[in-house]
Chain A
Amino acid sequence: MSELIAKERSIVIPGEALAEGMDYLPGQNTYREEEKIYSNVVGLLSLSGRAIKITPLSGPYVPKDGDKIIGRITDITMTSWRVNTGTAYSAMLNVRDATTRFVKNGEDLSKIFSIGEFIVTKITKVTSQKLIDLTMKSPDLYKVSGGRVIKINSQKVPRVIGKQGSMVSLIKNKTGCNITVGQNGFIWLKGEPKGELIAERAIKLIEQKSHQEGLTSKIETFLEEESKNN
């Protein structure tokens, strides 16, 4: 007989027993020890079929293949740029993957990206030792210019984007800002200074109340009140 010990949608803590019996399967952020399945992190329990999964409520960003992130150039080498990803591991962007145009031998690479600049980039490869390769070869990847870059916890990124981008387009419409969200929790806002300020506060609010229900309507009323006051 298998049974669920913790309730679905409830908050669980590390080491908490979630289910007993072999009918359930350990999914993301869980592990099996003999008959029981335990949680690895603080998070919300969800069931998909027989698999038990924990959606973490906090935690570091783990770089993955294909993630679109925002990073800061920290160093320039002979043929590449070193990029800070906001994690314990910095990434490498090779000249080959940086631009479509021909780069002459010995050309000053800081003319393309200089130290301190932010770029919207994509991860092409992550090794087991967390060496990260990046690319800029896609029309939706570019250098950040103007506006502001803010950082939130990367676990809250899906909430900031919303279902099919509903949340981010709501903020875009109400504040007139251009918003680019990186999977690593860096967010680039560009628009009128006032709009940027409101958008930043709205995003911080989402981060704070990320797991509440009816979040979109709450943010909508927040944005409406803010635009009335200004």
Chain B
Amino acid sequence: MTYTKRIDGRKLDELRPMEAKAGVIPNADGSAYFKIGKTTAYVAVYGPRELFPRFKQDPTKGLLRCHYGMMPFSGSGERIRPGTSRRAQEISMVMEKSLNPVLDLSAFPNAVVDVFIALPQTDAGTRCAAISAAAIALADAGIPMTDMVSSVAVGQVDGTVLADLDYSEEAYDAIVSDVPVAITHNKKEVTLLQMDGEISKEDLIKALELAKGATEKVYELQRKALTEKFADK
């Protein structure tokens, strides 16, 4: 246990400084921006609208479709090829799966709600920032939702359990693990749980406990972003 003090001086359960805003893209039906540390996510929601290709239409409910993408200049200097990749497809899929449980699209048969995510700046925790932003944007678009989803990464660096790892911690030269988690506000249901690296059972339980408090902080910010947009302009 050598990693007792964090590289950027945060407390173990402290998140990076966050910022959120709803309604940043006027052309979209709903939009949001979410920043945590150096990771920035913009999300635009379009729809419900007609779904093509037609074989994807579901006559019982609408479809949620996510498009995740990091911008070419967003990493640490390596150019990221624009367009889809294996990684982007996977993250788009897990985002759909983590947002769907709170979404009620039964009123929109055969239709689609498109969610576009762009990340101009990334420093670990992109899928979490994207999910938190997408939840704000979907609420802003007026899509019926039973609950909010808030997401944050937790993990373990050299035996120390922490919340919201940044890139320098993910790349720390020791046994590290990164566990992105998304939790609903009311029922505290886990809608996203992935893991990269190694973590002991005890540490994972500790980390998930940490995630509950951390997502609550994200929720407060999401709520503030939404009420601020609609409070007197």
State whether B107 touches A42 (Cβ < 8 A): no
State whether B148 touches A89 (Cβ < 8 A): no
State whether B186 touches A13 (Cβ < 8 A): no
Indicate which residue in A38, A60, A62, A208 contacts B233 across the interface (CB closer than 8 Å).
Answer: A208
State whether B140 touches A42 (Cβ < 8 A): yes
**A–B Cβ pairs within 8 angstroms, 29 of them:** A13-B139, A13-B222, A13-B227, A14-B139, A14-B145, A15-B145, A16-B223, A17-B186, A38-B146, A40-B144, A40-B145, A40-B146, A41-B139, A41-B142, A42-B142, A58-B142, A59-B141, A60-B141, A60-B142, A62-B107, A87-B48, A88-B108, A88-B110, A129-B109, A129-B110, A130-B110, A208-B233, A212-B232, A212-B233
8 A Cβ contacts from B11-58 to A: 29-30, 47-51
Interface size class of B (residues with CB under 8 A): 35 or more
**B59 interface residue, CB < 8 Å from A?**
yes
State whether A88 touches B142 (Cβ < 8 A): no
Shortest C-beta distance, A119 to chain B (Å), equals 20
Known contacts A38-B186, A41-B139; is-contact A13 B104 (Cβ 8 Å)? no
**A56 interface residue, CB < 8 Å from B?**
yes
CA A62 to CA B48, docked complex, whole Å:
10
**A155 interface residue, CB < 8 Å from B?**
yes
List, in ascending order, chain A residues with CB within 8 A of B50's CB: 88-90
List, in ascending order, chain B residues with CB within 8 A of A155's CB: 142
**B118 interface residue, CB < 8 Å from A?**
no
Known contacts A42-B142, A58-B142, A59-B141; is-contact A15 B102 (Cβ 8 Å)? yes
Chain A residues bordering chain B, tally (CB within 8 A):
31
Quick one: CB contact mask for B133-173 with A, threshold 8 Å, 1 for yes? 00000011111111110000000000000000000000000
List, in ascending order, chain A residues with CB within 8 A of B110's CB: 88-89, 129-130
Shortest C-beta distance, B128 to chain A (Å), equals 19
State whether A88 touches B230 (Cβ < 8 A): no
List, in ascending order, chain A residues with CB within 8 A of B184's CB: 15
CA A13 to CA B22, docked complex, whole Å:
12
**B111 interface residue, CB < 8 Å from A?**
yes
Query: Which of B140, B142, B147, B223: most chain A CB closer than 10 A?
Result: B142
List, in ascending order, chain A residues with CB within 8 A of B111's CB: 88-89
Shortest C-beta distance, B125 to chain A (Å), equals 23
**B1 interface residue, CB < 8 Å from A?**
no
CA A130 to CA B185, docked complex, whole Å:
32
Shortest C-beta distance, A138 to chain B (Å), equals 28
Known: A15-B148, A87-B49. 10 other contacts (CB 8 A): A15-B102, A16-B223, A38-B147, A41-B142, A42-B226, A56-B142, A59-B143, A60-B29, A129-B110, A130-B108
List, in ascending order, chain A residues with CB within 8 A of B109's CB: 128-130
Q: Please, which residue of chain A has its CB at the minimum distance from the CB of B47?
A: A88
State whether A129 touches B230 (Cβ < 8 A): no
List, in ascending order, chain B residues with CB within 8 A of A15's CB: 102, 145-148, 184-186
CA A183 to CA B225, docked complex, whole Å:
29
State whether B144 touches A41 (Cβ < 8 A): yes
Shortest C-beta distance, A68 to chain B (Å), equals 21
**B231 interface residue, CB < 8 Å from A?**
yes
